[in-house]
Structure 1
Amino acid sequence: MYTLKKSLGQHFLKDENICRKIVDSLPVIPNQQVLEVGPGAGAITKYLLELPDTSFKAVELDTEKVEYLQKTYPAIQGKLINESFLDVKPPFEGKFNVIGNFPYNISTQIMFRVLEWKDQVPCVVGMFQKEVAQRIAAKHGNKDYGILSVLIQAYYKVEYLFEVSETCFNPPPKVKSAVIRLHRLEEAYDIPNERKFFNLVKTAFGQRRKQLRNPLKPLFDKEVLQDSFFTKRAEELTVADFVALSHKMI
Protein backbone atom coordinates (compact mmCIF):
# COMPACT_ATOMS: atom_id res chain seq x y z
CA MET A 1 0.00 0.00 0.00
CA TYR A 2 1.59 3.28 1.10
CA THR A 3 2.82 5.09 4.20
CA LEU A 4 1.68 8.40 5.63
CA LYS A 5 4.38 11.04 5.86
CA LYS A 6 3.92 13.60 8.63
CA SER A 7 6.71 15.72 7.13
CA LEU A 8 4.47 16.31 4.10
CA GLY A 9 1.39 17.02 6.22
CA GLN A 10 -0.42 13.98 4.87
CA HIS A 11 -3.96 13.32 6.09
CA PHE A 12 -5.92 11.28 3.58
CA LEU A 13 -9.60 11.85 2.96
CA LYS A 14 -11.62 8.66 3.39
CA ASP A 15 -15.23 9.92 3.26
CA GLU A 16 -16.47 9.22 -0.29
CA ASN A 17 -19.41 11.62 0.02
CA ILE A 18 -17.02 14.47 0.82
CA CYS A 19 -14.71 13.40 -2.03
CA ARG A 20 -17.58 13.58 -4.52
CA LYS A 21 -18.82 16.85 -3.04
CA ILE A 22 -15.41 18.48 -3.57
CA VAL A 23 -15.23 17.34 -7.20
CA ASP A 24 -18.85 18.42 -7.78
CA SER A 25 -17.84 21.93 -6.63
CA LEU A 26 -15.66 22.27 -9.71
CA PRO A 27 -17.43 23.78 -12.74
CA VAL A 28 -17.91 21.28 -15.57
CA ILE A 29 -16.77 22.98 -18.77
CA PRO A 30 -16.32 21.20 -22.12
CA ASN A 31 -12.65 20.67 -23.01
CA GLN A 32 -11.48 22.07 -19.68
CA GLN A 33 -8.02 21.56 -18.21
CA VAL A 34 -7.74 20.59 -14.53
CA LEU A 35 -4.73 20.37 -12.23
CA GLU A 36 -4.96 18.51 -8.93
CA VAL A 37 -2.50 19.51 -6.22
CA GLY A 38 -1.35 16.72 -3.90
CA PRO A 39 -3.49 13.75 -4.99
CA GLY A 40 -1.98 11.55 -2.26
CA ALA A 41 -3.70 8.17 -2.41
CA GLY A 42 -6.26 9.34 -4.98
CA ALA A 43 -9.29 10.16 -2.80
CA ILE A 44 -10.65 12.75 -5.24
CA THR A 45 -8.37 11.80 -8.15
CA LYS A 46 -10.52 8.80 -9.10
CA TYR A 47 -13.53 11.11 -9.56
CA LEU A 48 -11.53 13.74 -11.43
CA LEU A 49 -10.36 11.07 -13.89
CA GLU A 50 -14.03 10.39 -14.68
CA LEU A 51 -14.86 13.99 -15.64
CA PRO A 52 -15.98 14.19 -19.28
CA ASP A 53 -14.10 16.30 -21.85
CA THR A 54 -11.32 17.05 -19.37
CA SER A 55 -7.54 17.17 -19.73
CA PHE A 56 -6.26 16.18 -16.30
CA LYS A 57 -2.87 16.40 -14.60
CA ALA A 58 -1.77 16.07 -10.99
CA VAL A 59 1.30 17.29 -9.08
CA GLU A 60 2.57 15.00 -6.31
CA LEU A 61 5.90 15.39 -4.50
CA ASP A 62 5.85 11.98 -2.78
CA THR A 63 7.36 9.40 -5.16
CA GLU A 64 5.78 6.53 -3.22
CA LYS A 65 2.30 8.02 -3.80
CA VAL A 66 3.08 8.52 -7.50
CA GLU A 67 3.92 4.81 -7.82
CA TYR A 68 0.79 3.84 -5.86
CA LEU A 69 -1.45 6.04 -8.05
CA GLN A 70 0.03 4.61 -11.25
CA LYS A 71 -0.61 1.05 -10.07
CA THR A 72 -4.10 1.76 -8.71
CA TYR A 73 -5.47 4.04 -11.43
CA PRO A 74 -4.20 3.02 -14.90
CA ALA A 75 -5.96 6.04 -16.45
CA ILE A 76 -3.51 8.35 -14.66
CA GLN A 77 -0.50 7.15 -16.67
CA GLY A 78 1.34 10.11 -18.18
CA LYS A 79 -0.69 12.62 -16.15
CA LEU A 80 1.41 12.78 -12.97
CA ILE A 81 4.11 15.36 -12.28
CA ASN A 82 6.48 14.15 -9.54
CA GLU A 83 7.55 17.56 -8.19
CA SER A 84 6.67 20.09 -5.53
CA PHE A 85 3.77 22.30 -6.59
CA LEU A 86 5.82 25.26 -5.37
CA ASP A 87 8.53 24.53 -7.94
CA VAL A 88 6.53 23.34 -10.93
CA LYS A 89 5.81 25.51 -13.98
CA PRO A 90 2.24 25.87 -15.28
CA PRO A 91 1.48 22.37 -16.62
CA PHE A 92 -0.91 23.50 -19.35
CA GLU A 93 -0.99 26.03 -22.15
CA GLY A 94 -3.98 28.31 -21.79
CA LYS A 95 -6.47 28.33 -18.91
CA PHE A 96 -6.78 25.55 -16.31
CA ASN A 97 -8.62 25.09 -13.02
CA VAL A 98 -6.89 24.00 -9.80
CA ILE A 99 -8.34 21.59 -7.24
CA GLY A 100 -7.03 19.70 -4.24
CA ASN A 101 -7.07 18.60 -0.66
CA PHE A 102 -4.15 20.95 -0.15
CA PRO A 103 -1.28 19.95 2.18
CA TYR A 104 -2.03 22.19 5.15
CA ASN A 105 1.62 22.95 5.91
CA ILE A 106 2.03 24.75 2.55
CA SER A 107 -1.55 25.81 1.76
CA THR A 108 -0.80 29.55 2.07
CA GLN A 109 2.20 29.16 -0.26
CA ILE A 110 -0.03 27.28 -2.70
CA MET A 111 -2.39 30.25 -2.82
CA PHE A 112 0.44 32.68 -3.49
CA ARG A 113 1.56 30.37 -6.31
CA VAL A 114 -1.97 30.45 -7.72
CA LEU A 115 -1.80 34.25 -7.63
CA GLU A 116 1.33 34.07 -9.79
CA TRP A 117 -0.69 32.00 -12.29
CA LYS A 118 -3.93 33.99 -11.93
CA ASP A 119 -4.11 34.89 -15.63
CA GLN A 120 -4.31 31.17 -16.44
CA VAL A 121 -6.42 30.00 -13.45
CA PRO A 122 -10.10 31.06 -13.56
CA CYS A 123 -11.26 28.74 -10.75
CA VAL A 124 -9.81 27.05 -7.66
CA VAL A 125 -11.54 24.51 -5.41
CA GLY A 126 -9.51 23.63 -2.34
CA MET A 127 -9.73 22.09 1.10
CA PHE A 128 -7.82 23.99 3.75
CA GLN A 129 -7.39 24.06 7.48
CA LYS A 130 -10.57 25.83 8.62
CA GLU A 131 -8.71 28.85 10.00
CA VAL A 132 -6.91 29.41 6.69
CA ALA A 133 -10.16 29.06 4.73
CA GLN A 134 -11.77 31.62 7.03
CA ARG A 135 -8.87 34.03 6.50
CA ILE A 136 -9.11 33.74 2.72
CA ALA A 137 -12.88 34.35 2.80
CA ALA A 138 -12.94 37.04 5.54
CA LYS A 139 -14.40 40.48 4.87
CA HIS A 140 -13.04 43.78 6.18
CA GLY A 141 -13.76 44.51 9.82
CA ASN A 142 -13.33 40.83 10.72
CA LYS A 143 -10.44 39.67 12.93
CA ASP A 144 -9.61 36.98 10.34
CA TYR A 145 -9.24 39.62 7.60
CA GLY A 146 -5.62 40.09 6.62
CA ILE A 147 -2.96 39.89 3.92
CA LEU A 148 -4.27 36.64 2.45
CA SER A 149 -7.86 37.96 2.36
CA VAL A 150 -6.99 41.15 0.50
CA LEU A 151 -4.49 39.75 -1.99
CA ILE A 152 -6.74 36.86 -3.02
CA GLN A 153 -9.96 38.89 -3.07
CA ALA A 154 -8.23 41.50 -5.23
CA TYR A 155 -8.40 38.93 -8.04
CA TYR A 156 -10.96 36.29 -7.01
CA LYS A 157 -14.48 36.03 -5.64
CA VAL A 158 -14.30 33.67 -2.64
CA GLU A 159 -17.08 31.25 -1.66
CA TYR A 160 -16.89 29.41 1.67
CA LEU A 161 -18.61 26.16 0.67
CA PHE A 162 -18.65 23.67 3.55
CA GLU A 163 -16.74 22.33 6.53
CA VAL A 164 -15.26 18.83 6.88
CA SER A 165 -15.04 16.87 10.14
CA GLU A 166 -11.75 15.46 11.41
CA THR A 167 -13.30 11.98 11.31
CA CYS A 168 -13.37 12.11 7.50
CA PHE A 169 -9.58 11.70 7.40
CA ASN A 170 -6.98 9.05 8.11
CA PRO A 171 -5.30 9.90 10.40
CA PRO A 172 -7.71 12.50 11.81
CA PRO A 173 -6.00 15.92 11.85
CA LYS A 174 -6.00 18.00 15.02
CA VAL A 175 -7.71 20.84 13.18
CA LYS A 176 -11.03 21.31 11.43
CA SER A 177 -11.14 21.67 7.64
CA ALA A 178 -13.18 23.65 5.14
CA VAL A 179 -13.61 23.76 1.36
CA ILE A 180 -13.66 27.06 -0.50
CA ARG A 181 -14.03 28.01 -4.16
CA LEU A 182 -12.41 30.93 -5.96
CA HIS A 183 -13.65 32.43 -9.23
CA ARG A 184 -11.67 35.09 -11.09
CA LEU A 185 -13.43 38.45 -10.85
CA GLU A 186 -15.39 39.34 -13.97
CA GLU A 187 -14.42 42.98 -13.52
CA ALA A 188 -10.81 43.23 -12.42
CA TYR A 189 -9.61 45.95 -10.05
CA ASP A 190 -7.41 48.62 -11.59
CA ILE A 191 -4.11 47.81 -9.86
CA PRO A 192 -1.42 49.98 -11.45
CA ASN A 193 1.56 48.14 -9.99
CA GLU A 194 1.15 44.68 -8.46
CA ARG A 195 4.50 44.72 -6.67
CA LYS A 196 3.62 48.01 -4.95
CA PHE A 197 0.10 46.81 -4.18
CA PHE A 198 1.39 43.62 -2.52
CA ASN A 199 3.92 45.65 -0.53
CA LEU A 200 1.21 48.08 0.57
CA VAL A 201 -1.04 45.30 1.90
CA LYS A 202 1.77 43.44 3.65
CA THR A 203 3.12 46.62 5.23
CA ALA A 204 -0.33 47.76 6.40
CA PHE A 205 -1.06 44.46 8.15
CA GLY A 206 2.47 44.21 9.53
CA GLN A 207 1.28 46.54 12.30
CA ARG A 208 -2.43 45.87 12.10
CA ARG A 209 -3.27 47.40 15.50
CA LYS A 210 -1.78 50.77 14.57
CA GLN A 211 -3.27 53.56 12.52
CA LEU A 212 -2.17 53.27 8.90
CA ARG A 213 -0.22 56.52 9.10
CA ASN A 214 2.51 54.79 11.12
CA PRO A 215 3.40 51.68 9.10
CA LEU A 216 2.69 53.33 5.73
CA LYS A 217 4.82 56.43 6.31
CA PRO A 218 7.65 55.27 3.98
CA LEU A 219 5.23 54.58 1.10
CA PHE A 220 3.48 57.95 0.76
CA ASP A 221 4.29 61.66 0.53
CA LYS A 222 3.72 63.70 3.71
CA GLU A 223 0.85 65.60 2.11
CA VAL A 224 -0.99 62.40 1.24
CA LEU A 225 -0.52 61.05 4.77
CA GLN A 226 -2.52 63.99 6.16
CA ASP A 227 -5.70 62.47 4.74
CA SER A 228 -8.01 61.26 7.54
CA PHE A 229 -8.07 57.92 5.73
CA PHE A 230 -4.72 57.13 7.37
CA THR A 231 -6.22 57.25 10.87
CA LYS A 232 -7.90 53.91 10.11
CA ARG A 233 -6.44 50.48 10.80
CA ALA A 234 -5.67 47.94 8.09
CA GLU A 235 -8.62 45.65 8.85
CA GLU A 236 -11.07 48.54 8.37
CA LEU A 237 -10.13 48.93 4.69
CA THR A 238 -11.95 47.10 1.90
CA VAL A 239 -10.06 45.59 -1.02
CA ALA A 240 -11.24 48.55 -3.12
CA ASP A 241 -9.81 50.93 -0.48
CA PHE A 242 -6.39 49.27 -0.73
CA VAL A 243 -6.52 49.48 -4.52
CA ALA A 244 -7.41 53.18 -4.33
CA LEU A 245 -4.54 53.79 -1.89
CA SER A 246 -2.11 52.04 -4.20
CA HIS A 247 -2.76 54.74 -6.81
CA LYS A 248 -1.37 57.36 -4.41
CA MET A 249 1.88 55.59 -3.50
CA ILE A 250 5.28 57.09 -4.12
Structure 2
Amino acid sequence: MGDQVRAKKHLGQHFLKDESIAEKISNTLTLEGYEKVLEIGPGMGVLTKYLIKKDIDLVAMDLDSESVTYLEDHFSDTNLQVLEGDFLKFELSDIFGDEAFAITGNFPYNISTQIVFKTLEHKAQIPEFTGMFQKEVAKRICEQEGSKTYGILSVLTQAFYDAEYLFTVPPSVFSPPPKVESGVLRLKRKADFSLPCDEKMFYRVVKTAFQQRRKTLRNSLKSFDLSDKLKEDTIFGQRPEQLSVLQFIALTQKLENDAISTH
Protein backbone atom coordinates (compact mmCIF):
# COMPACT_ATOMS: atom_id res chain seq x y z
CA MET A 1 0.00 0.00 0.00
CA GLY A 2 1.49 3.33 -1.08
CA ASP A 3 1.79 6.14 1.39
CA GLN A 4 -0.63 8.38 -0.45
CA VAL A 5 -4.28 8.16 -1.35
CA ARG A 6 -5.17 9.46 -4.80
CA ALA A 7 -7.91 12.12 -4.75
CA LYS A 8 -10.84 10.81 -6.74
CA LYS A 9 -12.74 13.33 -8.77
CA HIS A 10 -16.00 11.38 -8.81
CA LEU A 11 -16.01 11.43 -4.99
CA GLY A 12 -15.45 15.20 -4.94
CA GLN A 13 -12.20 14.69 -3.02
CA HIS A 14 -9.82 17.58 -2.37
CA PHE A 15 -7.32 16.69 0.32
CA LEU A 16 -6.41 19.39 2.78
CA LYS A 17 -2.64 19.67 3.10
CA ASP A 18 -2.29 22.69 5.39
CA GLU A 19 -1.69 21.65 9.01
CA SER A 20 -2.60 25.00 10.60
CA ILE A 21 -5.97 25.05 8.83
CA ALA A 22 -6.63 21.42 9.79
CA GLU A 23 -5.95 22.32 13.40
CA LYS A 24 -8.16 25.41 13.14
CA ILE A 25 -11.06 23.32 11.80
CA SER A 26 -10.60 20.77 14.61
CA ASN A 27 -10.99 23.63 17.09
CA THR A 28 -14.35 24.72 15.68
CA LEU A 29 -15.98 22.00 17.80
CA THR A 30 -16.99 23.37 21.20
CA LEU A 31 -17.34 19.83 22.68
CA GLU A 32 -20.40 21.03 24.61
CA GLY A 33 -23.26 18.58 25.01
CA TYR A 34 -21.69 15.50 23.39
CA GLU A 35 -18.69 13.18 23.69
CA LYS A 36 -18.93 11.51 20.30
CA VAL A 37 -17.88 12.94 16.97
CA LEU A 38 -18.36 11.70 13.42
CA GLU A 39 -15.84 12.93 10.87
CA ILE A 40 -17.13 12.69 7.30
CA GLY A 41 -14.64 12.33 4.44
CA PRO A 42 -11.38 12.08 6.42
CA GLY A 43 -9.25 11.26 3.36
CA MET A 44 -5.68 10.89 4.61
CA GLY A 45 -6.52 12.02 8.13
CA VAL A 46 -5.06 15.52 8.21
CA LEU A 47 -8.02 16.74 10.29
CA THR A 48 -8.42 13.37 12.04
CA LYS A 49 -4.95 13.74 13.53
CA TYR A 50 -6.05 16.84 15.49
CA LEU A 51 -9.48 15.51 16.40
CA ILE A 52 -8.03 12.33 17.88
CA LYS A 53 -6.11 14.39 20.47
CA LYS A 54 -9.36 15.64 21.94
CA ASP A 55 -11.30 13.97 24.72
CA ILE A 56 -13.92 12.46 22.40
CA ASP A 57 -14.98 9.15 20.86
CA LEU A 58 -14.12 9.67 17.22
CA VAL A 59 -15.52 7.79 14.25
CA ALA A 60 -14.21 8.57 10.77
CA MET A 61 -16.39 7.61 7.81
CA ASP A 62 -15.22 7.49 4.22
CA LEU A 63 -16.74 6.05 1.08
CA ASP A 64 -13.29 5.51 -0.40
CA SER A 65 -11.90 2.08 0.59
CA GLU A 66 -8.38 3.32 -0.14
CA SER A 67 -8.79 6.07 2.47
CA VAL A 68 -10.25 3.59 4.96
CA THR A 69 -7.22 1.30 4.59
CA TYR A 70 -4.85 4.24 4.89
CA LEU A 71 -6.54 5.47 8.09
CA GLU A 72 -6.60 2.00 9.64
CA ASP A 73 -2.85 1.69 8.98
CA HIS A 74 -1.89 5.15 10.19
CA PHE A 75 -4.15 5.35 13.24
CA SER A 76 -3.85 1.75 14.38
CA ASP A 77 -2.38 2.79 17.74
CA THR A 78 -5.28 5.15 18.55
CA ASN A 79 -8.90 4.51 19.50
CA LEU A 80 -10.13 5.84 16.16
CA GLN A 81 -12.98 3.82 14.68
CA VAL A 82 -12.95 3.84 10.88
CA LEU A 83 -16.07 3.07 8.87
CA GLU A 84 -16.35 2.53 5.15
CA GLY A 85 -19.67 3.91 4.03
CA ASP A 86 -21.78 6.62 2.48
CA PHE A 87 -23.05 9.01 5.16
CA LEU A 88 -26.15 9.76 3.11
CA LYS A 89 -27.21 6.10 3.09
CA PHE A 90 -25.83 5.07 6.48
CA GLU A 91 -28.14 4.14 9.35
CA LEU A 92 -26.81 6.58 11.96
CA SER A 93 -28.20 4.63 14.91
CA ASP A 94 -25.76 1.86 13.94
CA ILE A 95 -22.87 4.16 14.85
CA PHE A 96 -23.83 5.83 18.13
CA GLY A 97 -27.14 4.24 19.07
CA ASP A 98 -29.27 7.12 20.31
CA GLU A 99 -26.45 9.09 21.93
CA ALA A 100 -25.69 12.68 21.02
CA PHE A 101 -22.86 13.28 18.56
CA ALA A 102 -21.36 16.13 16.57
CA ILE A 103 -20.42 16.07 12.89
CA THR A 104 -17.34 17.65 11.37
CA GLY A 105 -15.25 17.28 8.24
CA ASN A 106 -13.86 18.62 5.03
CA PHE A 107 -17.03 17.67 3.19
CA PRO A 108 -17.05 16.32 -0.37
CA TYR A 109 -18.43 19.28 -2.32
CA ASN A 110 -20.79 17.23 -4.45
CA ILE A 111 -22.86 16.03 -1.48
CA SER A 112 -22.34 18.83 1.05
CA THR A 113 -25.88 20.23 0.98
CA GLN A 114 -27.35 16.71 1.28
CA ILE A 115 -25.17 16.18 4.36
CA VAL A 116 -26.83 19.23 5.94
CA PHE A 117 -30.34 18.02 5.06
CA LYS A 118 -29.61 14.62 6.59
CA THR A 119 -28.25 16.35 9.72
CA LEU A 120 -31.53 18.27 10.01
CA GLU A 121 -33.45 14.98 9.88
CA HIS A 122 -31.39 13.76 12.84
CA LYS A 123 -31.21 17.08 14.69
CA ALA A 124 -32.50 15.53 17.92
CA GLN A 125 -29.21 13.63 18.11
CA ILE A 126 -26.82 16.23 16.63
CA PRO A 127 -26.25 19.28 18.85
CA GLU A 128 -23.37 20.62 16.79
CA PHE A 129 -22.09 20.52 13.22
CA THR A 130 -18.93 22.15 11.91
CA GLY A 131 -16.89 21.81 8.77
CA MET A 132 -15.78 22.96 5.38
CA PHE A 133 -17.91 23.58 2.31
CA GLN A 134 -17.59 25.44 -0.93
CA LYS A 135 -17.56 29.04 0.25
CA GLU A 136 -20.81 29.97 -1.51
CA VAL A 137 -22.63 27.03 0.12
CA ALA A 138 -21.28 27.87 3.59
CA LYS A 139 -22.30 31.52 3.09
CA ARG A 140 -25.76 30.52 1.88
CA ILE A 141 -26.40 28.35 4.94
CA CYS A 142 -25.51 31.29 7.21
CA GLU A 143 -27.22 34.00 5.13
CA GLN A 144 -29.88 36.31 6.55
CA GLU A 145 -33.13 37.40 4.88
CA GLY A 146 -32.93 40.14 2.28
CA SER A 147 -30.11 38.52 0.35
CA LYS A 148 -30.28 36.92 -3.09
CA THR A 149 -28.50 33.81 -1.82
CA TYR A 150 -30.83 33.37 1.16
CA GLY A 151 -32.96 30.31 0.40
CA ILE A 152 -34.34 26.93 1.42
CA LEU A 153 -31.06 25.79 2.96
CA SER A 154 -30.68 28.99 5.02
CA VAL A 155 -34.22 28.93 6.42
CA LEU A 156 -34.45 25.22 7.21
CA THR A 157 -31.02 25.13 8.87
CA GLN A 158 -31.54 28.29 10.90
CA ALA A 159 -34.94 27.16 12.13
CA PHE A 160 -33.10 24.63 14.32
CA TYR A 161 -29.46 25.80 14.50
CA ASP A 162 -27.59 29.05 15.03
CA ALA A 163 -25.37 29.28 11.96
CA GLU A 164 -22.04 31.07 12.01
CA TYR A 165 -19.64 31.55 9.11
CA LEU A 166 -16.17 31.22 10.68
CA PHE A 167 -13.44 31.66 8.06
CA THR A 168 -12.52 31.35 4.39
CA VAL A 169 -9.95 28.89 3.05
CA PRO A 170 -8.05 29.46 -0.25
CA PRO A 171 -7.80 26.75 -2.96
CA SER A 172 -4.01 26.57 -2.60
CA VAL A 173 -4.13 24.54 0.63
CA PHE A 174 -5.74 21.56 -1.09
CA SER A 175 -4.47 18.82 -3.33
CA PRO A 176 -5.78 19.03 -5.98
CA PRO A 177 -6.79 22.70 -5.55
CA PRO A 178 -10.53 23.19 -6.12
CA LYS A 179 -11.65 25.96 -8.50
CA VAL A 180 -13.34 27.91 -5.72
CA GLU A 181 -12.68 29.19 -2.23
CA SER A 182 -13.92 27.15 0.71
CA GLY A 183 -15.65 28.28 3.87
CA VAL A 184 -15.86 26.82 7.37
CA LEU A 185 -19.00 27.17 9.45
CA ARG A 186 -20.45 26.11 12.77
CA LEU A 187 -24.05 25.13 13.45
CA LYS A 188 -25.03 25.05 17.11
CA ARG A 189 -28.46 23.62 17.82
CA LYS A 190 -30.86 26.05 19.47
CA ALA A 191 -31.72 25.44 23.12
CA ASP A 192 -35.34 24.96 22.04
CA PHE A 193 -35.35 23.48 18.56
CA SER A 194 -38.96 22.33 18.45
CA LEU A 195 -41.08 24.42 16.11
CA PRO A 196 -44.37 25.98 17.27
CA CYS A 197 -45.94 24.73 14.04
CA ASP A 198 -46.10 21.47 12.11
CA GLU A 199 -42.59 20.67 10.89
CA LYS A 200 -43.61 18.93 7.65
CA MET A 201 -45.87 21.84 6.80
CA PHE A 202 -43.06 24.29 7.56
CA TYR A 203 -40.71 22.44 5.17
CA ARG A 204 -43.42 22.43 2.50
CA VAL A 205 -44.10 26.16 2.87
CA VAL A 206 -40.40 27.08 2.68
CA LYS A 207 -39.66 24.83 -0.29
CA THR A 208 -42.79 25.86 -2.21
CA ALA A 209 -42.12 29.56 -1.63
CA PHE A 210 -38.51 29.46 -2.79
CA GLN A 211 -39.20 27.26 -5.81
CA GLN A 212 -40.70 30.41 -7.35
CA ARG A 213 -38.62 32.92 -5.47
CA ARG A 214 -39.40 35.90 -7.73
CA LYS A 215 -43.12 35.62 -7.12
CA THR A 216 -44.97 37.00 -4.14
CA LEU A 217 -46.14 34.43 -1.63
CA ARG A 218 -49.73 35.06 -2.72
CA ASN A 219 -48.81 33.51 -6.08
CA SER A 220 -46.22 30.92 -5.06
CA LEU A 221 -48.36 29.44 -2.27
CA LYS A 222 -51.58 29.05 -4.32
CA SER A 223 -51.45 25.28 -3.87
CA PHE A 224 -52.17 25.78 -0.16
CA ASP A 225 -55.73 26.77 -1.02
CA LEU A 226 -55.64 30.14 0.76
CA SER A 227 -58.92 31.62 1.94
CA ASP A 228 -59.78 35.09 0.59
CA LYS A 229 -59.43 36.49 4.07
CA LEU A 230 -55.90 35.08 4.46
CA LYS A 231 -54.83 36.36 1.03
CA GLU A 232 -55.37 39.90 2.33
CA ASP A 233 -52.67 39.43 4.98
CA THR A 234 -49.78 41.77 4.07
CA ILE A 235 -47.25 38.92 4.45
CA PHE A 236 -48.53 37.49 1.14
CA GLY A 237 -47.39 40.56 -0.75
CA GLN A 238 -43.79 39.71 0.06
CA ARG A 239 -41.27 37.51 -1.71
CA PRO A 240 -39.70 34.60 0.18
CA GLU A 241 -36.24 36.11 0.63
CA GLN A 242 -37.79 39.02 2.55
CA LEU A 243 -39.04 36.74 5.33
CA SER A 244 -36.97 35.86 8.39
CA VAL A 245 -37.05 32.35 9.82
CA LEU A 246 -39.48 33.52 12.52
CA GLN A 247 -41.75 35.00 9.86
CA PHE A 248 -41.74 31.70 7.96
CA ILE A 249 -42.80 29.96 11.17
CA ALA A 250 -45.56 32.54 11.69
CA LEU A 251 -46.63 32.11 8.05
CA THR A 252 -46.88 28.33 8.55
CA GLN A 253 -49.05 28.90 11.63
CA LYS A 254 -51.34 31.19 9.64
CA LEU A 255 -51.72 28.57 6.92
CA GLU A 256 -52.47 25.87 9.51
CA ASN A 257 -55.09 28.01 11.22
CA ASP A 258 -56.59 28.96 7.86
CA ALA A 259 -56.90 25.30 6.85
CA ILE A 260 -58.65 24.53 10.18
CA SER A 261 -61.10 27.42 9.96
CA THR A 262 -62.03 26.93 6.29
CA HIS A 263 -62.46 23.15 6.27
Regarding TM over 0.5, the answer is: yes
2:14 maps to 11
Q: Which runs of 5+ in 1 are unaligned?
A: none
1:182 maps to 187
1:50 maps to 53
| Secondary structure of 1:213's aligned partner | helix
Aligned-pair distance for 1:223? 2.2
Deviations 1:61-81 (A, max 9, x none): 111110011111114567112
Which of 35, 39, 43 is residue 36 of structure 1 equivalent to? Answer: 39
Moved more, 88-97 or 3-12: 88-97
Q: Is the 8 A contact 1:70 1:76 kept in 2?
A: no
Counterparts of 1:35 and 1:200, CA distance in 2:
31
1:230 maps to 236
Moved more, 150-159 or 76-85: 76-85
Q: Read off the aligned partner of 1:199 and give its amino acid letter.
A: R
2:201 maps to 196
- After superposition, the CA RMSD in angstroms is 1.5
Counterparts of 1:95 and 1:171, CA distance in 2:
34
Aligned-pair distance for 1:187? 3.2
User: Is 1:109 aligned to 2:114, yes or no?
Assistant: yes
2:73 maps to 71
User: Is 1:240 aligned to 2:246, yes or no?
Assistant: yes
* Alpha-carbon distance change, 75 to 214 in structure 1, aligned in 2, over 3 angstroms: farther
Counterparts of 2:8 and 2:77, CA distance in 1:
25
Counterparts of 1:106 and 1:30, CA distance in 2:
27
Aligned-pair distance for 1:25? 1.1
Q: Is the 8 A contact 2:34 2:102 kept in 1?
A: no
Deviations 1:175-223 (A, max 9, x none): 1100000000123353421111111001000111111100101213332
Percent of counterpart pairs with the same letter? 47
| Secondary structure of 2:24's aligned partner | helix
| Secondary structure of 1:198's aligned partner | helix
| Secondary structure of 1:119's aligned partner | coil
Aligned-pair distance for 1:136? 0.2
Q: Read off the aligned partner of 2:45 and give its amino acid letter.
A: G
Question: How many residue pairs are counted as aligned between the two chains?
Answer: 249
Counterparts of 2:206 and 2:21, CA distance in 1:
35
Counterparts of 1:110 and 1:211, CA distance in 2:
30
User: Is 1:147 aligned to 2:149, yes or no?
Assistant: no
Greater helix share, structure number: 2
* Alpha-carbon distance change, 183 to 78 in structure 1, aligned in 2, over 3 angstroms: closer
User: Is 1:21 aligned to 2:27, yes or no?
Assistant: no
User: Is 1:125 aligned to 2:127, yes or no?
Assistant: no
How does the TM-score come out when normalised to structure 2? 0.91
Q: Read off the aligned partner of 1:186 and give its amino acid letter.
A: A
Q: Read off the aligned partner of 1:117 and give its amino acid letter.
A: H
Q: Is the 8 A contact 1:70 1:77 kept in 2?
A: no
1:61 maps to 63
